[in-house]
């Protein structure tokens, strides 16, 4: 079916990036900034994230080959990593009250466009893992283009969510954001188990 890979990559990347959850984090980090500064930070974060993911989509397969890593092994490792990301989403590690805590890993705010927005929220380990897995599964330039298009579409949605973070915050509220993030986390956990299952199947088939 046409665009199957695009749809799979889009849904997977959307769940991992969680634009609505990222918008909640963005709102918490920039609540005391003026609108122009917020827009500048949002654009910078998305450009950095998209550039990083584009680079990994292009060189990911070559990198795995150079390191002698099979796609099946990468799927298992990537699935485990995605499960950790899902666990953190379900356990509210990205809730605004956690972010503003003195013990938060996000207390360094020297350049929030780079950290934590671009990395790890918009292009963290889970997102990089997903883009590499879909890119290495692509056959030919057409399918690779679908993966890149899906990534750019998700980053575009993320940018729109960052621009409208204040409005989204009023609409969803803390409870709404919490529900969305946890549902996304559950979906990501199921997806990570599927990646692990596919990887193990490939490894055992090769071994036999």
DSSP symbols for 124-170: -HHHHHHHHHHHHH--HHHHHHHHHHHHHHHHHHHHHHHHTHHHHHH
- The C-alpha atoms of residue 187 and residue 190 are separated, in whole angstroms, by 5
**pLDDT recorded at residue 102:** 45
Q: Which domain holds residue 56?
A: 4-207
Residues of the chain with pLDDT under 50: 102, 104-105
pTM of the model: 0.82
Q: How many domains is the chain partitioned into structurally?
A: 1
């Amino acid at each position: 079916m046409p665009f199957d890979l695009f749809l799979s990559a889009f849904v997977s990347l959307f769940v991992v990036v969680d634009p609505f959850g990222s918008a909640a984090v963005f709102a918490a980090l920039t609540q005391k900034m003026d609108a122009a500064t917020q827009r500048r930070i949002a654009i910078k974060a998305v450009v950095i994230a998209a550039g990083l993911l584009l680079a990994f989509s292009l060189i990911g397969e070559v990198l795995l080959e150079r390191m002698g890593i099979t796609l099946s092994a990468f799927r298992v490792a990537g699935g485990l990593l995605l499960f950790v990301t899902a666990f953190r989403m379900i356990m509210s590690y990205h809730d605004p009250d956690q972010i503003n805590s003195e013990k938060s890993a996000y207390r360094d705010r020297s350049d929030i466009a780079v950290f934590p927005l671009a990395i790890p929220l918009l292009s963290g380990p889970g997102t990089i893992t997903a883009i590499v897995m879909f890119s290495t599964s692509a056959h030919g330039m057409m399918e690779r283009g679908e993966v890149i298009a899906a990534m750019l579409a998700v980053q575009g949605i993320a940018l729109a969510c960052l621009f409208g973070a204040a409005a989204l915050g009023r609409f969803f509220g803390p409870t709404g954001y919490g529900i969305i993030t946890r549902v996304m986390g559950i979906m990501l956990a199921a997806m990570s188990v599927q990646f692990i299952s596919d990887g193990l199947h490939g490894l055992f088939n090769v071994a036999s």
